[in-house]
Amino acid sequence: MAGVKEECEKAGKQCGACGERETCPAGETFAPAHKLSQVRHLVAVMSGKGGVGKSSVSALLATTLSRQGCRVGILDADITGPSIPKLFGIKERVEGSEFGVYIPKSPKLGIYVMSANLFLEREDDPVIWRGPIISNVIRQFWTDVAWGKLDYLIVDLPPGTGDAPLTVMQSLPLDGVIIVSSPQDLAVMVVRKAIRMVAEMKVPILGLVENMTYVTCGKCGQKIFAFGEPQGEKVAAETGVPLLSTLPIDPELSRLGDEGRIEDYTPTGLEELASTLEDRFKSSSKTARLLFQQ
Amino acid sequence: MAGVKEECEKAGKQCGACGERETCPAGETFAPAHKLSQVRHLVAVMSGKGGVGKSSVSALLATTLSRQGCRVGILDADITGPSIPKLFGIKERVEGSEFGVYIPKSPKLGIYVMSANLFLEREDDPVIWRGPIISNVIRQFWTDVAWGKLDYLIVDLPPGTGDAPLTVMQSLPLDGVIIVSSPQDLAVMVVRKAIRMVAEMKVPILGLVENMTYVTCGKCGQKIFAFGEPQGEKVAAETGVPLLSTLPIDPELSRLGDEGRIEDYTPTGLEELASTLEDRFKSSSKTARLLFQQ
């Protein structure tokens, strides 16, 4: 599935937030990036169903890439259920100024984070916004935030196939989407929906991460398949979307996430995913795909 | 927190889908029910965060009430991530006619189910609809579906505080909302948001169900707190919302749900909840609150 950006490159043009809507050969209407943003790879993390650990996977992908030496940011597009700041223990409030918006960094690895929760007076204030406002906020997180020079900007999408994922795919020049699932049939059914939606939007699917596959008994070491037998390989075979990684349920991850210390967690199974991303992007494009607005 | 319906009753009027928008003392704009609907109690099941088992709780509440002799229906308002038909193994396609929409029943207990998934050609077709369309569909599930005579209509809300839960609370004359959470701090934070949202909408909160509190090791019987220590009692004490029930993770429930046989599962901890509902409604209203449109 070739993306619009790849089509642009084939046509000898560099695509991505060019803002030249009238002249875009693919008829795309990507929102222009902030003039101080220079993002090499824009990768979205999506799940059809909520609660499969999408935000944890976004956060752990960011920490893994960061540990490998990349400059990383996270755009929290889950506007009504934002969880990224909490995972990183970021509590400072953000305010806009005439020069743009200041971006908080995670305490240890310095990962840049932008989230609707950072604008709230209290973290448990509800965000009761209708779809169009939510869509605007997500666009603004791209157009009005000076992300600076980043190797990766990870977009944590809200679950489902509603307004917010649609907006992100229509507005942001994504390099690809990673889809997170859990072993439940239900989740797998909804993942198929998500795969079809992404394909319809002509955004490349990078692969599937199956999360919450088992939990290990702390007493006897037994693996408990709490949500049923893993199905990642089956889904990969059925849909042609590669299975990038399989992750367990880990109470330690829950604990560190709850304490805002996800940076202290070292996941297994994501280093390879991070390397795969680098390889994949290297092979699909010989030039760095700068999104820097000329 | 008194609801609009209670205010109506205090004023000597029977409220609920009366359709008399102009004369409503509370200024409510509930959508009128289908003229063949006669629903005693309209209860929504909500979660701030996805994946906490909200749909399973909706389904199990329905089966429990049904086993206690109530006539029950489920309105699946999770339009972009519908899972109710799958849990009950309902695969028939629904089509509208000039007389209204035929409602499928669950195979064992005869629970009526209406869901967006029943209109799709394939259950994994994605529903890529914008908010206003989604809101309309939910309203239509109330106004255009002849639910008949029901003791309980359970509304399975989509997660979050976005368009769909807003629409349901503004459009349907809910008797109350049950909020489902999991032990993760994150889920608890989002639950506080949901509680505040429901309170702002002046819909009565019936209580909290804490789901996925632990999983039991099949080998040694150890309880594993996969998502952290239970927090239901703490949240109940903090928010004043009563903790109605605490449920474990049960691989057997996952399996039966995946097989479309959730009716074969006998939950523990929900019988009491079902009785609590009956008592609560009895004490809050001496007359049956018929939503039958005059």
Q: What's the pLDDT at A199?
A: 86
Task: Give pLDDT tens digits for A21-43.
Answer: 445 555 566 888 888 899 999 99
The yes-or-no verdict on residue A132 having pLDDT over 90 is: no
How far apart, in whole angstroms, are the C-alpha atoms of residue A146 and residue A101?
7
How far apart, in whole angstroms, are the C-alpha atoms of residue B168 and residue B119?
20
Residues A31 and A143: beta-carbon distance below 8 Å: yes
ipTM for the whole complex:
0.76
Interface test with A, best of B220, B227, B241, B262 (most A CBs within 10 A): B227
How far apart, in whole angstroms, are the C-alpha atoms of residue B63 and residue B106?
10
Lowest mean pLDDT of A28-37, A54-63, A75-84, B249-258, name the range. A28-37
How far apart, in whole angstroms, are the C-alpha atoms of residue A66 and residue A265?
13
Binding-site entries of A for ATP: 48-55
The dihedral built from the CA positions of residue A281, A283, A285 and A290, taken in this order, carries a sign that is positive
pTM of the model: 0.79
How far apart, in whole angstroms, are the C-alpha atoms of residue B65 and residue A158?
33
- Residues of chain B with Cβ-Cβ distance to A217 below 8 Å are 217, 219-220, 222, 224
Which positions ≥6 away from A30 have C-beta within 8 Å? A15, A16, A17, A18, A19, A24, A171, A172, A173
Which positions ≥6 away from B50 have C-beta within 8 Å? A49, A50, A51, A81, A159, A160, B81, B159, B160
Q: What's the pLDDT at B14?
A: 46
**Among B162, B193, B219, beta carbon nearest to A222:** B219
Given an 8 Å threshold on Cβ–Cβ distance, is B184 in contact with A127? no
- B201 versus A104: the higher-pLDDT residue is A104
Comparing CA positions, the residue from B142, B161, B144, B163 lying closest to residue B153 is: B142
How far apart, in whole angstroms, are the C-alpha atoms of residue A18 and residue A31?
8
With helix as H, strand as E and coil as C, how does A130-194 read? CHHHHHHHHHHHHHCECCEEEEEEEEECCCCCCHHHHHHHHHCCCCEEEEEECCCHHHHHHHHHH
Which residues in chain B land under pLDDT 70? 1-29, 99-100, 126-131, 162-163, 186-187, 283-294
**CA of B99 vs chain A CAs: smallest distance (Å):** 30
HSE value, Cβ hemisphere, 13 Å, CA-based, for B196: 14
Q: What is the mean pLDDT of chain A?
A: 83
Q: Is B35 annotated as a binding residue?
A: no
How many CB atoms within 10 Å of residue B118? Answer: 22
Which positions ≥6 away from B152 have C-beta within 8 Å? B39, B40, B41, B42, B43, B62, B65, B70, B71, B72, B73, B277
The yes-or-no verdict on residue A58 having pLDDT over 90 is: yes
Q: What's the pLDDT at A277?
A: 86
Q: Which long-range contacts (CB under 8 A, 24 or more apart) does B137-141 make?
A: B137/B79, B138/B75, B138/B77, B138/B79, B138/B164, B138/B167, B138/B168, B138/B171, B139/B31, B139/B167, B139/B171, B141/B75, B141/B76, B141/B77, B141/B114
The yes-or-no verdict on residue A245 having pLDDT over 80 is: yes
How far apart, in whole angstroms, are the C-alpha atoms of residue B137 and residue B77?
8
**Among A87, A132, A226, beta carbon nearest to B249:** A226
- Residues of chain A with Cβ-Cβ distance to B196 below 8 Å are 124-126
> What secondary structure letter does DSSP report for A227?
T
> Does residue B17 sit in helix, strand or coil?
coil
**Residue labelled with tokens 């000076």:** A146
- Residues of chain A with Cβ-Cβ distance to B186 below 8 Å are 55, 83, 86-87, 257-258
Task: Give pLDDT tens digits for A220-238.
Answer: 999 999 998 898 999 899 8
How many CB atoms within 10 Å of residue A32? Answer: 18
Domains of chain A plus CATH, in order, are 34-293 (3.40.50.300)
**CA of A5 vs chain B CAs: smallest distance (Å):** 23
Which positions ≥6 away from A24 have C-beta within 8 Å? A15, A18, A30
Q: What's the pLDDT at A7?
A: 61
How far apart, in whole angstroms, are the C-alpha atoms of residue B173 and residue B163?
17
Given an 8 Å threshold on Cβ–Cβ distance, is A128 in contact with B161? yes
> Does residue A37 sit in helix, strand or coil?
strand
Binding-site entries of A: 48-55
Q: What's the pLDDT at B17?
A: 40
Read off φ and ψ for residue A118, nearest 5 degrees.
Answer: -75, -10
Given an 8 Å threshold on Cβ–Cβ distance, is A124 in contact with B254? no
Tokens of A109: 């690895």
The radius of gyration of chain A's CA atoms, rounded to the nearest angstrom, is 18
Residues B250 and B262: beta-carbon distance below 8 Å: no
The dihedral built from the CA positions of residue A154, A158, A161 and A166, taken in this order, carries a sign that is negative
Q: What's the pLDDT at B122?
A: 76
Comparing CA positions, the residue from A18, A29, A47 lying closest to residue A205 is: A47
> Does residue B47 sit in helix, strand or coil?
coil
- B198 versus A50: the higher-pLDDT residue is B198
Average pLDDT of the segment spanning A151-172 = 85
What are the CA-CA distances from residue A67 to residues A88, A154, A170 (Å)? Answer: 15, 15, 31
Interface test with A, best of B84, B185, B238 (most A CBs within 10 A): B185
**Among B51, B129, B251, beta carbon nearest to A228:** B251
Task: Give pLDDT tens digits for A106-127.
Answer: 999 999 999 998 988 777 776 6
Q: Which long-range contacts (CB under 8 A, 24 or more apart) does B260-264 make?
A: B260/B86, B260/B87, B260/B88, B260/B89, B260/B90, B260/B91, B261/B89, B262/B56, B262/B59, B262/B60, B262/B63, B262/B87, B262/B88, B263/B63, B263/B88, B263/B106, B263/B107, B263/B108, B263/B109, B263/B111, B264/B108
The yes-or-no verdict on residue A13 having pLDDT over 60 is: no
Q: What's the pLDDT at A223?
A: 95
